[in-house]
Homo-oligomer: A and B are copies of this chain.
Amino acid sequence: MDALDSINRMLEAAIADAAKDSPPRLAEALRYAVFPGGARLRPKLCMSVGWACGAQDLKLLAGAGAAIELLHCASLVHDDLPCFDDADTRRGKIALHRVFGDQIGVLAGDSLIVMAFDVLAVASQSEPGRLAPLTRIVSRAGGAAGGIAAGQAWECEPQIDTSRYHCAKTGSLFSAATMAGAAAAGVPYEPWRRVGLMIGEAYQVADDICDAVGDAEQLGKPVGRDAALARPSACQELGLEGAIARLKYLVQQAIDAVPDCPRRVELTAQIRKEASRFLPEHIARLAA
């Protein structure tokens, strides 16, 4: 079974489990928030690292990936709320709160955060000693201490610390993905932080590029939001060419940071391949 399939099954099981005792509209909203997914970059990265580290317990590894994806989905739902981005569309469909209302928007996000930790607890049955480190990795990535909540909250400060902002908003979930992959495999996870941070920063730069020069229909989400909301953007800072050079540099940094592990060569090839898809073809062509 391939990684994407394992992750989707784990997400499916978690959502079906919640739906058993959930008000119908909330249950429907949870499914809407998680399926169909985006690229599932973070859980796929988590599984690739676990695999490269020789993970045996694939249920735990998929659980770790699914937990990170659930936090990501929660953050998208909350980010789209009227008090934040007030977005109309997400992943090529109508934004969740526009379909289900703001109340269900808040509650769906809350439920997905809770579900992330529930999934970890269920998946760690045969390796109970790995639950605490995995929980800590995932909670750091989601919370106020440098996690995605912190990332959003930097936007509410009169002065943004740009580096901490990006690190929290995007880097946190990518570094959680690499660290959780290693932790699920039972190997030291701290050395994997930098790999995720670099990939996250590369992804953020790619996202800035898409927002600046992309096409809303092809991306499945609105563009030009960074300029409209006066958010920091790599494209504005470095120009299009500079931003693309930065993206390439960061991917190389990520690859250089990969620690020794049983399948290092395969993993670095995979990172390079996945990163080459960060920019949709029509934008990559602009840069060629």
Q: Given A81-B106, A153-B25, are A117 and B135 also a contact pair (CB < 8 Å)?
A: yes
- List A residues 151-166 near B (Cβ within 8 Å): 152-157, 164
Decide: A128 and B132 in contact? CB cutoff 8 A. yes
A111 contacts chain B at the CB level, 8 A cutoff: yes
Tell me the minimal C-beta distance from A123 to chain B in angstroms. 10
Decide: B103 and A18 in contact? CB cutoff 8 A. no
Tell me the minimal C-beta distance from A209 to chain B in angstroms. 26
Query: Roughly how many angstroms separate A136 CA and B106 CA in the complex, as a whole number?
Result: 22
Total copies of the chain? 2
Measured between beta carbons, the chain B residues less than 8 angstroms from A125 are 132
A139 contacts chain B at the CB level, 8 A cutoff: yes
Q: Could you say which of B107, B128, B147 contacts A152, with CB atoms under 8 Å apart?
A: B107
Decide: B117 and A117 in contact? CB cutoff 8 A. yes
Measured between beta carbons, the chain B residues less than 8 angstroms from A109 are 106, 110
Decide: B146 and A21 in contact? CB cutoff 8 A. yes
Which of A74, A105, A106, A143 counts the most B-chain CB atoms under 10 A from its CB? A143
A17 contacts chain B at the CB level, 8 A cutoff: yes
Select from chain B the residue with minimum beta-carbon distance to A151: B23
Interface string of A69-93 (1 = CB under 8 A from B): 0000010001001011000000000
Measured between beta carbons, the chain B residues less than 8 angstroms from A145 are 17-22
Decide: B26 and A150 in contact? CB cutoff 8 A. yes
- List A residues 128-151 near B (Cβ within 8 Å): 128-129, 131-133, 135-136, 138-140, 142-147, 149-150
Q: Given A120-B135, A132-B121, A156-B101, are A114 and B18 also a contact pair (CB < 8 Å)?
A: no
A104 contacts chain B at the CB level, 8 A cutoff: yes
Measured between beta carbons, the chain B residues less than 8 angstroms from A143 are 18, 110-111, 114-115, 118
Besides A104-B153, A111-B149, A117-B139, 9 other A-B contacts (C-beta < 8 A): A22-B144, A27-B144, A107-B149, A108-B144, A110-B142, A111-B150, A114-B139, A115-B139, A118-B143
Chain A contact residues, CB within 8 Å of chain B: 17-27, 30, 74, 78, 81, 83-84, 100-111, 113-115, 117-118, 120-122, 124-125, 128-129, 131-133, 135-136, 138-140, 142-147, 149-150, 152-157, 164, 168
**Complex A-B: 28 CB contacts under 8 Å:** A17-B145, A19-B144, A21-B150, A22-B144, A22-B145, A22-B146, A23-B153, A23-B156, A83-B101, A83-B106, A103-B155, A107-B149, A107-B153, A107-B156, A109-B110, A110-B113, A111-B144, A111-B147, A111-B149, A113-B114, A114-B139, A115-B139, A115-B144, A118-B139, A121-B135, A128-B128, A128-B129, A131-B135
Q: Would you list the 9 A-B pairs with minimal beta carbon distance, nearest first?
A: A118-B139, A111-B144, A26-B153, A114-B143, A83-B102, A121-B135, A21-B146, A22-B144, A117-B117
